Structure 1
Amino acid sequence: MYHYDNYDQTLVDERVAQFKGQTERFLAGELTEEQFRPLRLMNGLYIQRHAPMLRVAIPYGLLSSRQLRMLAQIARRYDQGYGHFTTRQNIQYNWPKLEEVPEILEQLATVEMHAIQTSGNCIRNTTSDHLAGVAQDELEDPRPYCEIIRQWSTLHPEFAFLPRKFKIAVSGAQKDRAATQVHDIGLQLVKGDDGETGFEVLVGGGLGRTPIIGVMIRPFLEKRHLLSYLEAILRVYNRYGRRDNKYKARIKILVKELGQDQFAERVEAEWAMIRDQLLLDQAEINRVQAFFQPHPYAELPAEDAILAAHKQCDAAFAAWFRHNSVAHKVPGYRVAFVSLKPLGIAPGDMTDRQMDAVADLAERYSFGEIRVTHTQNLVLADVRQSDLYELWQALTALDLATPNIGTASDIISCPGLDFCSLANATSIPIANGIQQIFDSLDYLYDLGDLRINISGCMNGCGHHTVGHIGILGVDKKGEEWYQITLGGSSANQASLGERLGPAIAKEDVIHAMEAIFQTYREQRLDDEAFLETVRRVGIEPFQERVYGDH
């Protein structure tokens, strides 16, 4: 993984010292709340319902065991003993004291971490595939390009005050696990006609109040032009993006209003003026790629007899292996998921004790690295197959081995009204209520691949519009109601969910979900997945069951 050089460390240390002075001036009354607000947002600090919330950047979701231990220490010392992993591969702390935030940032800087640009109208954390570097379907590891983008965009003076927040995702695999089509810019590594690898460039995707699937504006971009082309897109957005209405300020609105062709023409015109001034040379690509070389894998047999025996004799382990691990590109290894979705816990929450323990497990079994997924789970990406049973036992003891990855109980959820000052309704209780439906794993597994996403407001931090089932909390005269959508996806054939019907009262949501599950079981063909069934039969059968039963 990438390690700071002197420039990186100096930049972060200076930003910590700067914010410490700003915070002291604010607490002394020398800065007003209005003056302090943009300064704290530049450093990832929000004011939530009950306390400040600090969002810490985890670039492209990659952590070292040392960094995870620091996150545990911060949770223990400055919060209430836990952190919350987000859909942007970051971590949030919901209970820090304002006066202690500069000290937290000082601690983060000692392990090459920060909170810069995790909030505000700037380029946010660049995200990627959580299987980058180990996926069997990968054309090329996208993480070096994420790191190059991170270095280019951090404290970029031209893009510090954009019309609105800006998000970039990079994928290098055939299967899009980075949701590139619903980002402001999505970059997909592809091969050109000459066999060289470059980028397909998508723009104008986004969720929230106005969800839109991104459009392709360049089918192939040479790697040497990556930064100049990104800069051209950002310049066009900075110049023409709306600033008079925050709900119309995202680049997706600009692309929609101009149209795909006209937007692309403006980018190309801007790019023509700067393309030769900001070239990404191969030496720099090679330098960054050197940080992401394959680990020293052992030569192992593709099949492991001891593993096979454990799967045969232990049904619980076999279920975990089937649902919480996937194939690795190196024979003898496997990717293991750490489920942060046990029953009764807010999706994505992890205690300090669990973080410390997973850091230990990463060092023992996975070269000391941990990844954060978009689905609010963790990954140990490089586990020997012969170690999987021991790893499963350790995770089980930590309540981190719920065998539910990719199932209906592996729910994505924002913090909702329990924490967020923007929320209209709670999210966590709805997620917990749905999980309680599955007292039988057989019932859960019978439903197959089913993604449920929950958001407590139109900002859509739970990505409800691209859930196979999406749930959106709305306020009706002070009461919590929920809109349900079906048929969304952020994968290769990305789609936005279609609204099922009128909002449903909070007490009826679980009943509606049971009706949806039952309708799917009746309508599906053989092993047809939920999304395939919805796309084939439409939402009418689900409407009839849900609203007919009301």
Structure 2
Amino acid sequence: MSTTASPPPARAAVRPPRAGRPNGQWKVDGTEPLNANEVFKQESAPLGVRERIEDVYAKHGFDSIPDDDLHGRFRWWGLYTQRKPGIDGGRTATLEPHELEDRYFMLRVRSDGQALSPAALRVLGGISTDFARGTADITDRQNIQYHWISVEDVPEIWRRLDTVGLETTTACGDSPRGFLGSPVAGIAADEIIDPTPAILEIKRRYIGDPELANLPRKFKTAITGHPSLDVVHEINDISLVGVVHPDLGPGYDLWVGGALSTTPRLGERLGVFVTQEQAADVWHGVIRIFRDYGYRRLRNKARLKFLLADWGTERFRQVLQDEYLGYALPDGPAPAAPTRPSDHVGVHEQKDGRFYVGAAPVVGRVGGNTLTGLADLIEQVGAESARLTVHQKVVVLGVPADRVDELVAGLEPLGLTARPSLVRRSTIACTGIEFCKLAIVDTKDTAAAAIATLEERAGDVLASLDTKLEINVNGCPNSCARIQTADIGFKGQLVLSDDGEQVPGFQVHLGGGLTSADREEPGLGRTVRGLKVTADGLADYVEKVVRRFAADREPGETFARWAHRADEEALR
């Protein structure tokens, strides 16, 4: 698809500016940029930077990249400069970007719920080994994320990804980010509707479209047809969730306006029913509402959730139907409460008699050898492919019934397990200070060490629990690891040690969660005044609070329910 620069749609400036200070809504205030970020996006189409990366920067090196491309337009192709090693978290907020950044990049590859063939896994593994010093993480957006990428190597990486149908297009930036898709799409025996056709159609029509490459900020999508609600649909800008209409059959329930970060807000149903054939048009309508009416003046208000909060669902639905679709959508049912876990870990029978097997790495870390080894194992047992999950897990698809045990055993040497402990299964972590310029504390290694400690010291109590226990570790306040919707969420910050020194640590959020087999209604976690833990004390705190939960809980009570009713002393 062409990435030629194009001006904002002419209709955006039709209406006169409203009284008072403008919010940068194109259809209300006109298209004049109100801040530097909006200026650089209009001066040169962000998608057009790919040609300069291939023809100029990859040939002349890091020093040839101008600032607006390096710190702006590169993001539209999945590239951020990574954090320079050795800069402690206390300096994160005091240094300029050029002082924090290294001459290497994080590169994000979209998976969009795609089934990854052995060939695709080998390409992903080879990129890690050849260009990323062995790094590769499964993110909670179903992306593969690399580090230590040199700009000189980016064109070859893109060439390799193209051979297996993968891309980095709008993986970052003020654009439609990578889609969350059900990891068991098309194969689960209890699936309501296969979302694959909807995802592929939206991607075919709209990913890489210059008309959607200048949004107020990022736009996140989730689509599932599985009754486990396996794409965290309540915290995306748009979600299409499989339901069955009493008259129209299988289709989707439409949710909009969810997001976390420093101002968390759960998405809301518009109450409409969307058919498979309408899904791409409805998605296009919602993202254009965000483009045309989203707030652009202030970056911290430039998400769809703020527009929805001001408009309400009734007005949002009306604008969608009247201005963008040209037809009314019928009322539709809400999704049923799930009855099984959404992470797909373990062994499960498919509708064709084969099996899919969900396996857990440690906090999403895989690496080149793991990805390549997984490709070999899939071929060895006669399986078909793999998908990534929003819980930083991997699901192997199409395993013959008589090869399941071989597959499960073969995963273990790769650092993947289909039978993880409760704490390994339930813990996710963002990138953290190792590579992220926004982070204050380490996350991946801290979480991995805590898992090992808890498995050794608290294995008895963890094995006795019959409920989920999500532990999400985040390196800063931005909640990339969904801290407000975890049973135990850790938000990175500097805290005071017992000796009164500032050390890496975390604020604690307790009792959050999204709709699941253990929870009928989503909700955000609570904080306890003054409750903070050091990074070194994270495992000690989890063990203490989990043992208290196990001792105090009522029959069948979840951790989240207990955490919201427990007194503060029990949670310290």
Amino acid corresponding to residue 456 of structure 1 in structure 2: G
Shift of 1:420: 0.5
Shift of 1:16: 6.0
Residue 454 of structure 2, aligned match among 437, 444, 456? 437
Residue 125 of structure 1, aligned match among 178, 184, 197? 178
Q: Which has the larger displacement, 498-507 or 53-62?
A: 498-507
> Does structure 2 conserve the Cα–Cα contact (< 8 Å) formed by 1:65 and 1:362?
yes
RMSD between aligned alpha carbons?
2.6
Q: What residue in structure 2 maps to residue 495 of structure 1? A: 523
> Does structure 1 conserve the Cα–Cα contact (< 8 Å) formed by 2:173 and 2:218?
yes
Q: What residue in structure 2 maps to residue 382 of structure 1? A: 398
Give the 3 Å change call, closer, same or farther, for CA 30–349 of structure 1 in structure 2. Answer: closer
Shift of 1:405: 6.5
Residue 210 of structure 1, aligned match among 263, 277, 294? 263
Take 1:505 and 1:131, find their aligned partners in 2: how far apart are those partners? 37
Which SS does the other structure have where 2:126 is aligned?
Answer: helix
Which SS does the other structure have where 1:207 is aligned?
Answer: coil
Take 2:408 and 2:226, find their aligned partners in 1: how far apart are those partners? 27
Shift of 1:220: 0.9
> Does structure 2 conserve the Cα–Cα contact (< 8 Å) formed by 1:487 and 1:498?
yes
Give the 3 Å change call, closer, same or farther, for CA 194–145 of structure 1 in structure 2. Answer: same
Take 1:33 and 1:116, find their aligned partners in 2: how far apart are those partners? 20
Give the 3 Å change call, closer, same or farther, for CA 17–237 of structure 1 in structure 2. Answer: closer
1:511 to 2:540 alignment: yes
Shift of 1:407: 4.2
Q: TM-score, normalised by structure 1?
A: 0.81
Q: After superposition, where does 1:220-239 map in structure 2 within 5 Å?
A: 220-239=273-292
> Does structure 1 conserve the Cα–Cα contact (< 8 Å) formed by 2:442 and 2:475?
yes
Q: What residue in structure 1 maps to residue 156 of structure 2? A: 103
Show CA shifts across 1:221-265 (max 9, x none): 233332332222222211221112111111011111222222222
> Does structure 2 conserve the Cα–Cα contact (< 8 Å) formed by 1:66 and 1:359?
yes
Residue 189 of structure 2, aligned match among 114, 117, 136? 136
Q: TM-score, normalised by structure 2?
A: 0.78
> Does structure 2 conserve the Cα–Cα contact (< 8 Å) formed by 1:175 and 1:491?
no
Q: Which has the larger displacement, 476-485 or 143-152?
A: 476-485
Take 1:361 and 1:390, find their aligned partners in 2: how far apart are those partners? 9
Q: What residue in structure 2 maps to residue 21 of structure 1? A: 55
Shift of 1:491: 2.9
Shift of 1:187: 0.5
Take 2:50 and 2:382, find their aligned partners in 1: how far apart are those partners? 32
Which SS does the other structure have where 2:216 is aligned?
Answer: coil
Q: What residue in structure 2 maps to residue 462 of structure 1? A: 481
Q: After superposition, where does 1:129-208 map in structure 2 within 5 Å?
A: 129-208=182-261
1:94 to 2:147 alignment: yes
Take 1:159 and 1:259, find their aligned partners in 2: how far apart are those partners? 24
Show CA shifts across 1:435-481 (max 9, x none): 11221644332234211111111221111111121111124596423
Shift of 1:511: 2.6
1:418 to 2:434 alignment: yes
Take 2:325 and 2:415, find their aligned partners in 1: how far apart are those partners? 55
Give the 3 Å change call, closer, same or farther, for CA 121–85 of structure 1 in structure 2. Answer: same
Q: Which has the larger displacement, 361-370 or 473-482?
A: 473-482
Take 1:74 and 1:132, find their aligned partners in 2: how far apart are those partners? 27
Take 2:554 and 2:211, find their aligned partners in 1: how far apart are those partners? 53
Q: What residue in structure 2 maps to residue 317 of structure 1? A: none
Shift of 1:523: 2.1
Q: Which has the larger displacement, 477-486 or 37-46?
A: 477-486
> Does structure 2 conserve the Cα–Cα contact (< 8 Å) formed by 1:181 and 1:202?
yes
Q: What residue in structure 1 maps to residue 369 of structure 2? A: 353
Residue 506 of structure 2, aligned match among 479, 482, 489? 482
Shift of 1:32: 1.6
The structure with the greater share of residues assigned to helix is 1
Give the 3 Å change call, closer, same or farther, for CA 223–49 of structure 1 in structure 2. Answer: same
Take 1:460 and 1:121, find their aligned partners in 2: how far apart are those partners? 18
Take 2:448 and 2:522, find their aligned partners in 1: how far apart are those partners? 27
Which SS does the other structure have where 1:175 is aligned?
Answer: coil
> Does structure 1 conserve the Cα–Cα contact (< 8 Å) formed by 2:76 and 2:170?
yes
Amino acid corresponding to residue 438 of structure 1 in structure 2: E
Give the 3 Å change call, closer, same or farther, for CA 215–424 of structure 1 in structure 2. Answer: same
Shift of 1:130: 1.4
Show CA shifts across 1:367-425 (max 9, x none): 33111111111111222332122222222233322732664653110011121001122
Q: Which has the larger displacement, 20-29 or 255-264?
A: 20-29
**What are the ranges of 5 or more consecutive residues in structure 2 without an aligned counterpart?**
3-47, 85-103, 329-343, 497-501
Give the 3 Å change call, closer, same or farther, for CA 392–429 of structure 1 in structure 2. Answer: same
1:365 to 2:381 alignment: yes
Q: After superposition, where does 1:5-20 map in structure 2 within 5 Å?
A: 19-20=53-54
Give the 3 Å change call, closer, same or farther, for CA 406–505 of structure 1 in structure 2. Answer: closer
Take 1:367 and 1:403, find their aligned partners in 2: how far apart are those partners? 19
1:338 to 2:359 alignment: yes
1:329 to 2:353 alignment: no
> Does structure 1 conserve the Cα–Cα contact (< 8 Å) formed by 2:495 and 2:533?
no
> Does structure 1 conserve the Cα–Cα contact (< 8 Å) formed by 2:111 and 2:144?
yes
> Does structure 2 conserve the Cα–Cα contact (< 8 Å) formed by 1:177 and 1:491?
no
Take 2:405 and 2:249, find their aligned partners in 1: how far apart are those partners? 41
Q: What residue in structure 1 maps to residue 10 of structure 2? A: none
> Does structure 2 conserve the Cα–Cα contact (< 8 Å) formed by 1:486 and 1:539?
no
1:39 to 2:57 alignment: no
Take 1:134 and 1:53, find their aligned partners in 2: how far apart are those partners? 33
Give the 3 Å change call, closer, same or farther, for CA 385–223 of structure 1 in structure 2. Answer: closer
Q: After superposition, where does 1:49-60 map in structure 2 within 5 Å?
A: 49-50=83-84, 51-60=104-113
> Does structure 2 conserve the Cα–Cα contact (< 8 Å) formed by 1:42 and 1:119?
yes
Q: What residue in structure 2 maps to residue 252 of structure 1? A: 305
Take 1:250 and 1:230, find their aligned partners in 2: how far apart are those partners? 16
Amino acid corresponding to residue 517 of structure 1 in structure 2: V
Q: What residue in structure 2 maps to residue 308 of structure 1? A: none
Which SS does the other structure have where 1:59 is aligned?
Answer: coil
Give the 3 Å change call, closer, same or farther, for CA 393–424 of structure 1 in structure 2. Answer: same
Which SS does the other structure have where 1:416 is aligned?
Answer: coil
Q: Which has the larger displacement, 471-480 or 138-147?
A: 471-480
Take 1:501 and 1:117, find their aligned partners in 2: how far apart are those partners? 40
Q: What residue in structure 2 maps to residue 4 of structure 1? A: none
Q: What residue in structure 1 maps to residue 22 of structure 2? A: none
Q: What residue in structure 2 maps to residue 114 of structure 1? A: 167
Show CA shifts across 1:500-529 (max 9, x none): 332414144333212210121012234444
Shift of 1:56: 1.0
Amino acid corresponding to residue 443 of structure 1 in structure 2: V
Shift of 1:91: 0.5
Amino acid corresponding to residue 447 of structure 1 in structure 2: L
Give the 3 Å change call, closer, same or farther, for CA 355–329 of structure 1 in structure 2. Answer: closer
Q: Which has the larger displacement, 416-425 or 363-372?
A: 363-372
Show CA shifts across 1:256-300 (max 9, x none): 122222222222221354x59xxxxxxxxxxxxxxxxxxxxxxxx
Amino acid corresponding to residue 462 of structure 1 in structure 2: A
Take 1:437 and 1:488, find their aligned partners in 2: how far apart are those partners? 21
> Does structure 2 conserve the Cα–Cα contact (< 8 Å) formed by 1:408 and 1:452?
no
